[in-house]
Amino acid sequence: MYSWLFAAAGIAFPFWLLMILLPGWRVTRFLAERQVFPLFLAVLYTAGIGAAVAHYGLGFVQDFGSEDGVLRLLAMPDFALIVWIHILCFDQAIGHWIYRDYMADRFLPLPVLSVILFCTLMFGPFGWLVYTVLRALLRPART
């Protein structure tokens, strides 16, 4: 089941291409406004974590509190795939937020937005940090 969830999560990748390469296209705007792909990934994650809880019980949660526990969980293929979907979902949600926030003011050249979105796709928190800093420095003040 977890391999199927992982494969299904790949469906969300083309939306990154739309945001990066075709940010002004009405289809891109339509999908971003409805948050189709982060919601899709959240459903996949929920199915995966639900299956894990059904199979392993809630005892695995205690492993979140220690380095050894987290490493033990990530060494299990099922949990590693669920964690990957978790990461994909949050990166996609942050990418959507960046895209939607940017489209409200367009305070950067589009190529810069594309680079930031690519960084968010590849290095999630780093892309968000770059956008947040540039937003604070360059975005016109709202009154």
Question: What pLDDT, in 10s, does the model give residues 38-81?
Answer: 999 999 999 999 999 999 888 888 888 899 999 999 999 999 99
Q: What is the pLDDT of residues 29-44, one digit of tens each?
A: 999 999 999 999 999 9
Our measurement of the distance from residue 70's CA atom to the centroid of its chain's CA atoms, rounded to an integer in Å, reads 21
Structure tokens, 92:
């996609």
Q: What element of type H or E holds 142?
A: none
CA distance 34 to 98: 14
The identity of residue 125, as a single letter, is: P
Phi, psi of 107 (to 5 degrees): -90, 0
What is the pTM for the complete model shown? 0.89
